[in-house]
Amino acid sequence: MSNDPIIRIKDLHKSFGPVEVLKGIDMDVAPGQIVALIGPSGSGKSTLLRTINQLEDVTSGEIFFDGALVNRDLPHRQREKHLNRLRQDIGMVFQHFNLFPHLTAIENVTMAPVLLGRQTKTQALAEARALLEKVGLSDRADYYPSRLSGGQKQRVAIARALAMNPKAMLFDEVTSALDPELVGEVNKVMKQLAQEHMTMIIVTHELRFASDVADHVVFMADGVVVEEGPPDALFRAPQHERTKAFLQQVFEG
Amino acid sequence: MGLDFSILAGYEGVLVQGAIWTVGLTVASIVLSLVIGTLMAVFRLSGMRIVRWPVSFVIWLFMGTPLLLQLYLIYFGLVQIGLDLNAFTAGVIALSLHFAVYDADIIRAGIVAVDKGQYEAARSLGLSHAQAMRKSIVPQALYNVAPALGNMMIALLKESSLVSVIGVMELTLSAQRAISDTFRPFEFYLAAAVIYYVLNLVLEQAVKAVERRSAKYR
Ligand SMILES: Nc1ncnc2c1ncn2[C@@H]1O[C@H](COP(=O)(O)OP(=O)(O)OP(=O)(O)O)[C@@H](O)[C@H]1O
Ligand SMILES: [Mg+2]
């Protein structure tokens, strides 16, 4: 395993119209590293995550994934091609699952690899069964999403992203839409991925989970990285006032 | 002279033949109007410049003018520029385009109503714009607007009788032929009405079946 970062973000700026929401972000993620991204609401965590696979384009700065410049300046068609290729290697899991409601759980998982020619239908089905088993949903393969609980939906969504065999996974508050009793089953799957050394960036409001699973925590506020470090250091001995205030508020609230 | 439905005997063949042409016109036009309507909706939403003008022209022409005129234009008018279509083909084209523009509006609303997260999820997996539309957005949109599209299909079935004016021997024209033979308009128009009604029922059942399919995932 090389020690070059698999994700490298350099001086990233992003504005929505006149409002700058990312104000010069630098960040490196090493292969196999698990980064927790925390910070108050509106600080730009989702936006940052979504620039990595270019669901959100950037105003200036550079993003590298696996050595390649993600936000290359290309003519529209070539840019689309480049991004389609790149996104296959970056799994993303959303707060509201975004499962395809007209497809069963297993069809959700097999759709992309088959459509994109990664696997034959037979291979994809076998792979999907293995993934559903891994997330504990072997018995739900033929259910439509509407018949699944939130926790089950989110585990299918994780399986769907894993089916493309990505090099890194992005999680955007994947448990915040869940009933509290369903959070654990999703967190467990993420922990398992962490043990398998999947590279992950996890945006979360659950600081306990962050400190459990992450080996690096980044605290963002108002579009900048205020402070970062190993979870122990950041949670036990934050250096900045802003971090202290945030942690205090979260732990009290 | 009272009603005498026994007059229909001997003309079943004519009426059945007419019904078959009506079904043919209707099915071909429904399929084509859905395909064209979907493409128009998708292209208009993607804002593709190359197609914007031709699509706007088609919409203007087929929404703003009567179907009868469109039939004449396509059947008699296009001959002048060297496009000599047979009556059935001209009828299918007119019906398809006429209903495609309405379908396109309905489908467009259906697409816009699909959650944005569906598109993002598809793109995040590496699907292209076209693949995301085809595999995720459009199927959901079509299921969502199936009832409204079903109404259009039933209207199309009924409007297909207009194609009689360019000489397609569909149900209405078949009834008229039988009437000019027998001078019994009431019996034959009533018989045609019953057949239209039955065809409508069948079409309604087909639409319901699609709706049931989509209910599975709701
Ligand atoms: N598409 C958009 N158009 C305009 N403004 C946006 C858009 N998306 C996000 N913003 C703004 O950018 C800022 C950062 O939003 P972002 O969603 O990245 O925050 P966040 O840290 O993920 O917050 P939360 O914890 O609530 O999810 C917010 O002020 C938000 O209103
Ligand atoms: Mg967010």
The answer to whether residues B110 and B149 touch, using CB atoms and an 8 Å cutoff, is no
Select the residue of A55, A84, A98 nearest B128 (Cβ to Cβ): A84
**What confidence tens digit (pLDDT) does each residue in B25-62 have?**
999 999 999 999 999 999 888 876 777 777 778 888 89
The answer to whether residues A125 and A133 touch, using CB atoms and an 8 Å cutoff, is no
Q: How many angstroms away from the CA of B21 is the closest CA of chain A?
A: 35
Contacting residues of B for A164, CB less than 8 Å apart:
125-126
Q: How many angstroms away from the CA of B136 is the closest CA of chain A?
A: 7
Is some CB atom of chain B closer than 8 A to the CB atom of A145?
yes
Q: Which of B74, B87, B71, B88 is nearest to B24 (CA)?
A: B88
Tokens (6 digits) for A85: 């290729």
How much is the CA Rg of chain B, to the nearest whole Å? 20
**What confidence tens digit (pLDDT) does each residue in B161-202 have?**
999 999 999 999 999 999 999 999 999 999 999 999 999 999
- pTM beyond 0.80: yes
Give me the long-range contacts of B85-90 (CB less than 8 A, separation at least 24). Answer: B87/B163, B87/B166, B87/B167, B87/B168, B88/B21, B88/B24, B88/B25, B88/B168, B90/B166
Q: Do B117 and A96 touch (CB under 8 A)?
A: yes
Mean pLDDT of chain A: 96
**What confidence tens digit (pLDDT) does each residue in A12-60 have?**
999 999 999 999 999 999 999 999 999 999 999 999 999 999 999 999 9
List pocket residues of ligand 1, CB cut-off 6 Å.
Answer: A 16, 21, 39, 41-47
Domains and CATH numbers, chain B: 7-215 (1.10.3720.10)
- Buried/exposed B82-104: b ≥16 CB within 10 Å, e otherwise: eeebebbebbbbbbbbbbbbbbb
